[in-house]
Amino acid sequence: MTVIVAVVGAGRGRGKTTLVEFLTWRFSKNLRVWTVKHVSESFDVEEKDTWRHMEAGAEGTIAVGPDGLVVLRHQAEATLETVIGEVPRDVDLVLVEGFREAANSKILVAPSVEEAEEQLGRIRGVFAVSGPVAETKAGGVVQGVPILSPEELSERLNRMILEDQIKRLPGIDCKKCGYPSCKALAAAILNGEAALRDCKTLQISDLTLMVDDVQVYLSEFPKNFVKNVVLAMTGSLKGVDVEKVRRITVNIQV
């Protein structure tokens, strides 16, 4: 899983981008962070080469420049769920600017308590209020929702990320991390005494089993059993030199 939080507000000029920028800076030092921005304008400029490619009938086009690449494709306006599908699975935090109608957790940015009260009646899933209102009202509450400064918000998000990381632990109690169980490692992570990277099963694995896009962790015996069976079957196929094979992928549709 990945922690996904949307930063929303009543409109432009509320400080959404400033808050996303701060949180990205705060967490990208130690974690993998992606951002999503909901915009109303078209990405592509009319009569530019990429626009002409799409107008000519290309299903998609990739613009490559000195700073990276951008993928464009024909698609009706995507839901946040569709967009998140483009984010790598092992990202720790996705900060979304916009998508106020989405069902995920949200931070409401507002300039005043009055606007926050009005917007809380319209937007679901808000767990914190921040932005300009926090400069004078931090520590307060609006309709049961706390008003948090950017630093306080960072602490809250950090807790959410740690709890999410704990869910990634395999639960096989292999003890390779030095703790007696995955539960003990989880407690250490929450206390700041350990990190997800201490889990050796997550860090080093030569076999990954995915069931409906959810990873199933295997202890040593079943992992070696599955690996050896697949290697033996693959090695018996004509034209396959198992000594030269570096990766085998098997997809089964049930």
144/140 Cα distance (integer angstroms)? 9
Helix (H) / strand (E) element for 233: namely helix 220-235
- pLDDT > 70: percent of the chain: 96
Query: Are residues 10 and 119 in contact, defined by beta-carbon separation less than 8 angstroms?
Result: yes
Chain centroid, CA 106 distance in Å: 14
Prediction pTM value: 0.73
Q: How much is the average pLDDT of 75-101? A: 85
53-84 pLDDT per residue, tens? 888 888 888 889 888 888 888 777 778 888 88
Q: Which residue has the higher pLDDT, 181 or 39?
A: 181
- Give the residue among 135, 114, 136, 116 at the shortest CA–CA distance from 126: 116
Lowest mean pLDDT among 2-6, 43-47, 169-173, 235-239: 43-47
What does the pLDDT read at residue 26?
92
* Domains defined for the chain, CATH in brackets: 3-41+79-159 (3.40.50.300), 170-203 (no CATH), 206-254 (no CATH)
Is residue 214 scored above 80 in pLDDT?
A: no
Q: Is the pLDDT of residue 94 over 90?
A: yes
Longest Cα–Cα distance of the chain, Å, equals 73
